[in-house]
Amino acid sequence: MRYADLHQRSLTDPEGFWMEQAQAIDWDKPPSKALFDANAPLYEWFADGMVNMCWNALDRHVEGGRGDQVAVIHDSPITGTKTSLTYAAMRERVARLAGALKARGVEKGDRVIIYMPMIPEALMAMLACTRLGAIHSVVFGGFAANELAVRIDDAQPKCVIAASCGLEPGRVIHYKPLLDGAIETARHKPEFCVIFQREQETAALIDGRDLDWSAFQDGVAPADCVPVEGNHPAYILYTSGTTGQPKGVIRPTGGYMVALQWTMKNIYNVDPGDVFWTASDVGWVVGHSYICYAPLITGNTTIVFEGKPVGTPDAGTFWRVISEHRVKSFFTAPTAFRAVKREDPKGEFVRKYDLSCLKTVYLAGERADPDTILWAQDQLNVPVIDHWWQTESGWPMAANPVGCEMLPVKLGSPAVAMPGYDVHVLDEGGHPVGPGTLGAIAVKLPLPPGTLPNLWNAEARFRKSYLDQFPGYYATGDAGYLDEDGYVYIMARTDDVINVAGHRLSTGGMEEVLASHPDVAECAVIGVADDLKGQLPLGFLCLNKGTTRDSADIVRECVTLVRDRIGPVAAFKLAVVVDRLPKTRSGKILRGTMVSIADGKEFRMPATIDDPAILDEIAAGLKTLGYPQG
């Protein structure tokens, strides 16, 4: 079916469309219908079906004759190792781990926090949870102990599964002390922790609380898959919101599987048996959906890559992995390509490898700048597809449906709305605007299957963040426009979220940390444009009256504070002390104007500014940091 007909049908006949897609999933009890709207505007999909995601990702492939196919390849240029696990081996390992968790009392509905780097055991831990109907919440390794503690308090896990360490180029990330610190800080105490001891570091275990990954599985009976309702949460994934308190996005089991399996053929153009590689991290939504669940549900071989685009050991790593493992579709973030392009602009590394297996490349996580797309297309000689999605959606909201119908690529646009997404651009009053006009991007409710039905323990926040602004719509938090052909253009966020190297961060969260410094009276954090990472956070600090300490010391302490509280992933390294912040007469900080000054862009003097002279002070402060650049 052509894209236009398919999209139209998904909107006019969602029941028929999604019930058909649901047939690709093995249900213990098939759902009687697709959409459950009794609690509108809160919607659920496939709520009365019974299903297990681990069964669909592993067991059914083993039962169906795919047991000897490689399910997971671990390629770690950081440790210099490559290993692989078949579907049969994965099922055996996951069933045993689930059995050990079950023996310790983990059951359907219990939460389990997973704090692991890019190793196959991270996928095993996720799948063992879904096998039992336990709800996992993976925490990215680049967050500090405090962020882990916040998530422990919100999710209230029965147990935490962690690795002894993660590995960044040139340094070991000591996960265990971070975990111990987080549990000490958190009000909620998990009953036990399971620690996977990596060769690179053996962590000290706390008697009575910590269990060794291998030892605790000794002699246990493997666990069977526990069928759960279609709307049962498979996982909670925390993402940045407008405060330091992250939002716990709930992922419903049934709709997620149905949507993911649709995307694998229709967007990523892979069939069972094909090798699919997403270079991201299991700590992010892209890792949940396209390193773990979607490729396994489809019967692909997925790659768990522990490395960086450059420096592990060189800018040819991506091409080596693609060529060695015969990757058909490859997915990464634009920032990763910018890093490679910077080191190897002429693509000399590209030509060292046979990339004939590679058919399509996909980019997401941040705006894909046309230069990067063109560079990648020239070097790789395959279509480079930008697509747009969010932690909340769990799968692409807009893409080029390559496996269904390859539409013309328009640079700067992640193409068109995917099935079930009725994308509109609204003005401040919530009225749809015409093609080419900038506005808030909103999706008419209901959102399609797999998307968030709610926030964990925070329905009021869910309604306020996403539903209240434009009744009848889901507010994406992105601003942009649609063109005459329905192509979406994502231009900016409407909230305080910034995107640093494909990582979603809240400037509000950073401001909360800076404001806790004893010498800081007031502060603002903005995202400035950066050639490599897309955006970088930059802080303005107003000090308490009478502070006599050296500003450089305070800036240094603030940088350390953000790293210690939020984590290295915040990449907060730039801050400047200023006397005052520019504000409107009603006291709102003019962050947008500061961004324009930092980026060297033209801007209109805000009519409501209380004192325009402050902008000169801001410009002078930015100059000391080298902004605007160039």
Q: Which residues bind ligand COA (CB under 6 A)?
A: 141-142, 166, 168, 173, 279-281, 284, 286, 308-310, 332-333, 335-336, 339, 364-365, 500-502, 533, 568-569, 571
| Of 89, 459, 399, nearest in space to 267 by CA | 399
Residue 49 interacting partner from ligand COA, ligand AMP, none (CB closer than 5 to 8 Å by kind): none
C-beta separation of 22 from 14 below 8 A? no
Shorter beta-carbon distance to ligand AMP: residue 213 or 473: 473
Shorter beta-carbon distance to ligand COA: residue 98 or 569: 569
Residue 478 interacting partner from ligand COA, ligand AMP, none (CB closer than 5 to 8 Å by kind): ligand AMP
Shorter beta-carbon distance to ligand COA: residue 309 or 480: 309
Q: How far is the CB of 64 from ligand COA (least distance, A)?
A: 30
Q: How far is the CB of 618 from ligand COA (least distance, A)?
A: 25
Q: Which of 250, 292, 364, 404 binds ligand AMP (CB under 6 A)?
A: 364
239 binds ligand AMP (CB under 6 A): yes
- CA pair distance 325, 85, nearest whole angstrom: 13
Shorter beta-carbon distance to ligand COA: residue 231 or 280: 280
Q: Which residues contact 233 (CB under 8 A, 6 or more apart)?
A: 135, 250, 251, 252, 253, 456
From 89-97, 289-297, 388-396, 423-431, give the range in contact with ligand AMP by CB under 6 A: 388-396
Shorter beta-carbon distance to ligand AMP: residue 66 or 387: 387
> Which residues within the stretch 241-300 sit at the binding site for ligand AMP (CB under 6 A)?
285
| Of 267, 224, 166, nearest in space to 569 by CA | 166
Residue 211 interacting partner from ligand COA, ligand AMP, none (CB closer than 5 to 8 Å by kind): none
Residue 309 interacting partner from ligand COA, ligand AMP, none (CB closer than 5 to 8 Å by kind): ligand COA
Q: How far is the CB of 452 from ligand AMP (least distance, A)?
A: 11
Residue 142 interacting partner from ligand COA, ligand AMP, none (CB closer than 5 to 8 Å by kind): ligand COA
Report H helices in 481-612: 507-515, 551-565, 591-599
Shorter beta-carbon distance to ligand COA: residue 173 or 561: 173
Residue 308 interacting partner from ligand AMP, ligand COA, none (CB closer than 5 to 8 Å by kind): ligand COA
Q: How far is the CB of 405 from ligand AMP (least distance, A)?
A: 20
The DSSP output letter for 515 is H
Shorter beta-carbon distance to ligand COA: residue 10 or 413: 413
What does the block give as tokens for 593?
Answer: 């104007």
- CA pair distance 470, 85, nearest whole angstrom: 47
Shorter beta-carbon distance to ligand AMP: residue 36 or 235: 235
366 binds ligand AMP (CB under 6 A): yes
Checking phi first, is residue 30 left (phi over 0); if not, alpha (psi -120 to 50) or beta?
beta
Any idea how long the chain is? 630
From 79-87, 177-185, 387-395, 573-581, give the range in contact with ligand AMP by CB under 6 A: 387-395
What does the block give as tokens for 171?
Answer: 């340094």
Q: Which of 138, 490, 523, 577 binds ligand AMP (CB under 6 A)?
A: 490
- CA pair distance 575, 622, nearest whole angstrom: 9
Q: Which of 7, 387, 461, 583 binds ligand AMP (CB under 6 A)?
A: 387
479 binds ligand AMP (CB under 6 A): no
| Of 355, 260, 192, nearest in space to 51 by CA | 260
| Of 444, 447, 451, nearest in space to 255 by CA | 451
Shorter beta-carbon distance to ligand AMP: residue 190 or 414: 414
Shorter beta-carbon distance to ligand AMP: residue 130 or 390: 390
* Adjacent-strand bridge partners of 440: 426, 479
- DSSP letter string, 248-276: EEEEEHHHHHHHHHHHHHHTT---TT-EE
The DSSP output letter for 97 is H
Q: How far is the CB of 350 from ligand COA (least distance, A)?
A: 17
C-beta separation of 388 from 364 below 8 A? yes
Residue 173 interacting partner from ligand AMP, ligand COA, none (CB closer than 5 to 8 Å by kind): ligand COA
Checking phi first, is residue 617 left (phi over 0); if not, alpha (psi -120 to 50) or beta?
alpha
Residue 239 interacting partner from ligand COA, ligand AMP, none (CB closer than 5 to 8 Å by kind): ligand AMP
Shorter beta-carbon distance to ligand AMP: residue 87 or 388: 388
Angle at the Cα of 329 from the Cα atoms of 328 and 332, rounded to 5 degrees:
140
C-beta separation of 420 from 449 below 8 A? yes
- CA pair distance 409, 396, nearest whole angstrom: 16
Q: Which of 121, 147, 478, 599 binds ligand AMP (CB under 6 A)?
A: 478
C-beta separation of 450 from 256 below 8 A? yes
| Bond prior to 370 in cis (omega within 30° of 0) | no
Residue 499 interacting partner from ligand COA, ligand AMP, none (CB closer than 5 to 8 Å by kind): ligand AMP
- CA pair distance 299, 62, nearest whole angstrom: 10
Report how many residues bind ligand AMP under the rule CB under 6 A. Answer: 20
From 260-268, 385-393, 522-530, 591-599, give the range in contact with ligand AMP by CB under 6 A: 385-393
3-class DSSP state of 140: coil
Phi, psi of 507 (to 5 degrees): -70, -30
| Of 197, 241, 171, nearest in space to 504 by CA | 241
Q: How far is the CB of 229 from ligand COA (least distance, A)?
A: 30
C-beta separation of 275 from 325 below 8 A? yes
For the four alpha carbons of 344, 347, 351 and 356, in that order, the dihedral sign comes to: positive
- CA pair distance 249, 455, nearest whole angstrom: 5
Shorter beta-carbon distance to ligand AMP: residue 179 or 447: 447
Shorter beta-carbon distance to ligand AMP: residue 237 or 598: 237
Q: How far is the CB of 147 from ligand COA (least distance, A)?
A: 12
Q: Which residues contact 65 (CB under 8 A, 6 or more apart)?
A: none
The footprint of ligand AMP (CB under 6 A) covers: 239, 285, 364-368, 386-391, 414, 477-478, 490, 493, 499, 504
